[in-house]
A and B are shown apart, each in its own frame.
Chain A
């Protein structure tokens, strides 16, 4: 939540974002977070400094040639991430027509004017899931967790984009 407060500060164009809680946590000390006093109530709150990523990369269901990116299912952190970052890159499961996106514009999470570049990468979320197209590949995750020297190489070789 403190991470999101930092992303929100960046997306709002302000230097820091007050956040609830945090009192009693040593995370404040190790991250050098400071409190401010709310000018209206006098209440003390932690203010988390803005986090402005150079690049956000998100994976979506559908994209058109203008970069309009549609997501199905839960957006998790995709909204604050794409608003906070200086540049936005998209990978997508499918290329679709702009007319299709016009049918339900509210499903477009990132409008094309914000998108610098995109790639169509079917199965790009593997071994994670992409609702509603495919589920988590649990056996692949377990193989990757194997503590052997070649587990990473084997995982990369198994990735959909490596096998095309």
Chain B
């Protein structure tokens, strides 16, 4: 069994989670929500999952369509609502935050504000949703794009919404990592060629030491089948 574009993103997002840390998933973040649910099933270590609907270690029987649906609180023994999780992040208490982006640059800065000139945008995007505070204060941030293209992975952002501790970028074709400075390629989809990744990435990156991404394990695949039994999430994500 190899990767589908959907399983590649969800599983590689799940692989960013470390044992014993607090992990947060937010609004408009269905793939990270699924990654957290998958990690809970597939990995043999404890981590705390909190989400934007206020859920703390939720155990939803029915996984909602939206990552901010109150249904994603089901099974929580406590509510940790918006003020609480933002403040926890601000004081350094969240290990991994998933934050979305429209554009991302080589140093892990993100744009979720505008495409084109900021005062006369071609496209007005939903906005940061706390990113300007969370990206610099979370210990690590992971992001994802369902499109791996030079217009999404750019040398220069149209607008800098947030800058800070971006640690991982997952696309349908590759996984990038950074600690400080620029992203380096960690691994690429085994069906892709390194030249293709370079061609489809708008910023230059170091690929030394990068390898084809390790195939999904049996545990990861069975967890994904469990949380997307009828394939509805994969169809909805419609990732090429």
Contact = CB atoms under 8 A, between A and B. Distances in A.
Interface of A: 1-2, 4, 19-28, 30, 73-77, 79-80, 129, 131, 135-136, 138
Interface of B: 53-54, 64-66, 69-71, 73, 79, 81-83, 86, 90-91, 109, 113, 118, 128, 130-137, 159-164
Contacts of A131: 70, 73
Contacts, number: 92
A43 to B, nearest CB: 14
A19 B70 contact: no
B82 A22 contact: no
B79 to A, nearest CB: 5
A131 B68 CA distance: 13
A1 B137 CA distance: 12
Contact of A1 (B90, B91, B159, B163): B90
Contacts of B91: 20
A2 B69 contact: no
A20 B130 CA distance: 11
Nearest to A136: B69
A6 B136 CA distance: 19
B73 A21 contact: no
A76 B69 CA distance: 12
Q: Please indicate which of the listed interface residues A19, A23, A73, A74 has the most CB atoms of chain B within 10 Å of its own CB.
A: A74
A26 B161 contact: yes
23 contacts: A2-B133, A19-B90, A20-B133, A21-B133, A21-B134, A21-B135, A21-B136, A21-B164, A22-B136, A23-B136, A24-B162, A24-B164, A25-B162, A26-B159, A73-B54, A74-B54, A75-B79, A75-B81, A129-B69, A129-B71, A131-B70, A135-B69, A136-B64
